[in-house]
């Protein structure tokens, strides 16, 4: 039970959490990236820690995408893939994260020469080891790299249908949103097939473009959850629709600052999204690249926007409700949250099941 003497930081540390929006390559710690860069020298990724941290200062989102692709090029073997999964599992478990929807972009690994069955074997092994070693449940979202257009959509879908990991639960799309329009039909076809196979539609949308991309994610891709979605506020009709349908929005504040989508954390639309009654979850996106953690995101919004323990617990509950955990898994994490704080009053954010 929370007492008046419990510090907010200690509360956040102890708060059971889930992570719904974090990328496999983007979650690689600085030491891991340095190890890969030294293993595969001669590329664009620096092999010194100071230089790598400078490498992670982004001019804008296209520059971030270039850096991300450069780091992705270092992942060349199935062993590298498994190492990354176990690394993020270890780091999240240390933050009291109980479950993670981990976004994997398998097409980039295919392009590096890894056969699909070997990638899948590495992902399956890592899920089992993450549970054994760190007590965290890992599920996967296969993500189309939008910059690769129809080819990327077909390659990602083929892997999802022909060689799916046991823990694959979702299908997504990321990358530079402005480059999607010419390939709209290919993306729609891929999502239609993925959904028919039982995968959840979990695309990024409305991070660097306006409400039209979110509408396309909802109407064209059948989105059940929206990655980012921060620009929804420009369209009152969209806000009303999101509020009514309880579509969860995976908000990643520090990411939006680092990629230049908002000028500063204080300018982030999170408070207004909460005021509008939107279903918001809190996430870290690519934490080492942005100098953050999931715990750091909770601390940042608490400090910047004055969100107290009850509001932070509601954000954590939202994450559980929006996750792909089974009913028993949800109940287990929610019970842990309730044991830390007094029960949320009836009608508080996060009680409905958005699925």
**Structural contact between residues 324 and 101, judged by C-beta atoms closer than 8 angstroms:** yes
Distance CA 204, CA 101 (A): 14
Distance CA 145, CA 152 (A): 6
Q: What are phi and psi of 93, to 5 degrees?
A: -60, -35
DSSP 325: -
Other CB atoms closer than 10 Å to residue 307's CB: what's the count?
A: 21
**Structural contact between residues 130 and 83, judged by C-beta atoms closer than 8 angstroms:** no
Give the residues across from 282 on adjacent strands: 251
Distance CA 49, CA 71 (A): 14
Distance CA 338, CA 104 (A): 32
The answer to whether 69 is a known catalytic residue is no
3-state secondary structure of 96: coil
User: What's the token pair of residue 217?
Assistant: 């994610």
Q: What is the DSSP string of 274-309?
A: HHTT--EEE--BSHHHHT--HHHHHHHHHHHH---H
CA 23 vs. chain centroid, Å, equals 6
Q: Which of 19, 207, 216, 297 is catalytic?
A: 207
**Structural contact between residues 60 and 260, judged by C-beta atoms closer than 8 angstroms:** yes
Distance CA 82, CA 129 (A): 9
Q: Of 40, 127, 122, 48, which is closest to residue 75 (Cα–Cα)?
A: 40
**Secondary element (H or E) of residue 139:** strand 137-145
**Structural contact between residues 95 and 138, judged by C-beta atoms closer than 8 angstroms:** no
3-state secondary structure of 73: coil
Active-site residues, by number, are: 207
């Amino acid at each position: 039970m929370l007492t008046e003497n419990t510090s907010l930081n200690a509360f956040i540390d102890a708060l059971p959490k889930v992570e719904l929006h974090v990328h496999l390559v983007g979650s690689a710690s600085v030491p891991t990236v340095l190890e890969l860069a030294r293993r595969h020298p001669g590329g664009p990724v620096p092999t010194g820690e100071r230089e790598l941290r400078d490498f992670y200062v982004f001019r804008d989102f296209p520059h971030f995408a270039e850096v991300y692709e450069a780091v992705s090029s270092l992942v060349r073997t199935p062993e590298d893939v498994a190492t990354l999964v176990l690394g993020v599992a270890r780091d999240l478990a240390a933050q009291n994260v109980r479950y993670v929807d981990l976004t994997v972009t398998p097409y980039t690994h295919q392009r590096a020469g890894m056969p699909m069955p070997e990638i899948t074997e590495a992902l399956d092994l890592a899920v089992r080891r993450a549970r054994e070693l760190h007590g965290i449940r890992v599920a996967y979202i296969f993500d189309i790299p939008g910059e690769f257009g129809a080819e990327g959509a077909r390659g990602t879908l083929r892997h999802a249908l022909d060689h799916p990991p046991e823990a694959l639960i979702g299908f997504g799309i990321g990358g530079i949103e402005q480059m999607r329009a010419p390939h709209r039909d290919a993306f729609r076809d891929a999502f239609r097939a993925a959904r028919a196979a039982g995968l959840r539609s979990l695309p990024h949308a409305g991070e660097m473009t306006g409400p039209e991309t979110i509408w396309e994610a909802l109407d064209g891709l059948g989105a059940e959850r929206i990655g980012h979605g921060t620009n929804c506020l420009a369209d009152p009709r969209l806000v009303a629709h999101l509020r009514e349908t309880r579509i969860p929005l995976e908000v990643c504040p520090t990411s939006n600052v680092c990629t230049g989508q908002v000028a500063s954390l204080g300018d982030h639309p999170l408070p207004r999204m909460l005021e509008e009654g939107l279903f918001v979850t809190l996430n870290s996106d690519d934490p080492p690249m942005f100098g953050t953690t999931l715990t750091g995101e909770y601390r940042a919004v608490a400090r910047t926007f004055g969100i107290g323990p009850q509001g932070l617990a509601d954000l954590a509950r939202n994450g559980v409700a929006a996750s792909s955990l089974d009913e028993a898994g949800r109940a287990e994490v929610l019970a842990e949250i309730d044991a830390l704080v007094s029960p949320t009053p009836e009608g508080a954010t996060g009680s409905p099941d958005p699925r």
